[in-house]
Amino acid sequence: MREPAPTETPAPARDPLTTAMRASHVLAGVLVVGALAFAAFGAAVGDTFYLRLATEALIFAGLALAVDILLGYTGLLSLGQALYFGLGAYVSALTLMAVPSFWAAFGAALLAGTVVGLVGGVIANRVRGVYFALITFGMAQVVGKVVYNTRALGASDGLIGVPVVDIGFGPWSFSSASPAGLFLFVLGYVMVLYAVAAYILDTPLGRLLIAMRANEGRVAFLGYRPVTARLIAYVIAAVVASLSGALYPMLRGFVSPELLFFTTSGNAVITVITGGAGTLVGALYGSLLLTVIKSYVGSWTEHHLIVIGLLFMAVVIFLPRGLIGLVRPKIERMLSRERKP
């Protein structure tokens, strides 16, 4: 057809999306190193408060990961992801109260997240765009209010007195009452959730979701049923949120209906947007950042929402890729330079 293109390698190996994901992995690695140093320091000085606070930040980072899978990759804004986080928390608490075993609670939360995620996904995926946001919001509200009014689930008090469990892998085990031990465990657990999400998003299925965010209609003409792809993304996000919620009663010893409410869902959305939607690692950093802001600003005024709200608005207006968007492109450039021979 045209004159032959100037000598440039037709480089299928250098895939921008894979490079972007690798850049996220670099940042995730930095986070793990920092967290390990923090844990060592915390354990050395015998700290409990900050270790537990950081553990909670990581648990909510798991919820934010779920929101990012939907919002940042599939283009679906969930305003009710707390539904699955709370589901995981309640199921885990109930299981632990019956059988004090981590793996039983994990299995129950996995199963509940999958089943309820499928049902919720079938309902929510009937609509798109703002209607999806509002229906997820509505579903979480319905379930939240029902739990709030159900005496068997502790109604407005929630479930208290979840026993301390021993979390074991083969010969190695530790008690969930140990702040440093639980922190390290939750760190590993959330990083596994991150790795699984990253893996899925780097498969053709994940690429399909990314394509759907830009142009869902065209995906059908590539031979894929958009509704099915959206449902898969929804169920994955439900399971990630549920598995994150399952950790909550192990840390706090109780669960309450607030875990299901809009404040929880909304916080996860703020976390993702502030950290950087569509980066996965932004959800992790965002959660830590918000926790730091809350506890730091909270130490001299209880009005941290003004600070968080203004920061969030500024990010929405000025930083469409969030705070991670300030850093990650530089790492991407470094990585793609490295790959050139």
In the three-class reduction of DSSP (H, G, I as helix; E, B as strand; rest coil), residue 74 is classed as helix
From residue 67 to residue 86, the character string flagging contacts with other proteins as x (rule: CB under 8 A) and all else as - is: ----x---x-x---------
Kindly state the helix (H) or strand (E) to which residue 218 belongs, with its residue range: helix 216-220
Which positions from 11 through 50 interact with other proteins, judged by CB under 8 A? 11-12, 14-18
Q: Give 160's strand partners.
A: 254
Q: Which of 54, 211, 250, 283 binds other proteins (CB under 8 A)?
A: 211
Alpha helices in 69-100 (DSSP H): 82-98
Q: Which is nearer to other proteins, 85 or 132 (CB)?
A: 132
**Burial annotation 182-210 (CB, 10 A radius, 16+ → b, else e):** bbbbbbebbbebbeebbebbbeeebebbb
Q: Is 296 in the site for other proteins (CB under 8 A)?
A: no
Question: CB under 8 A: which stretch of 44-52, 194-202, 237-245, 252-260 binds other proteins?
Answer: 194-202
Q: Which of 44, 45, 152, 214 binds other proteins (CB under 8 A)?
A: 214
Contacts 24+ apart (CB under 8 A), 153-159: 153/90, 154/256, 155/257, 156/256, 156/257, 157/256, 158/254, 158/255, 158/256, 158/257, 158/258, 158/259, 159/90, 159/93, 159/94, 159/97, 159/249, 159/254, 159/255, 159/256
Which positions from 245 through 264 interact with other proteins, judged by CB under 8 A? 262
Size of residue set near other proteins by CB under 8 A: 71
Q: Is 200 in the site for other proteins (CB under 8 A)?
A: yes
Question: CB under 8 A: which stretch of 54-62, 170-178, 189-197, 265-273 binds other proteins?
Answer: 265-273
CA 214 to CA 217: how far, in whole Å? 9
Question: CB under 8 A: which stretch of 49-57, 94-102, 164-172, 300-308 binds other proteins?
Answer: 300-308
Which positions from 117 through 136 interact with other proteins, judged by CB under 8 A? 123, 126-127, 129-131, 133-135
Question: CB under 8 A: which stretch of 58-66, 93-101, 197-205, 249-257 binds other proteins?
Answer: 197-205
Q: Is 341 in the site for other proteins (CB under 8 A)?
A: no
Amino acid at site 83: L
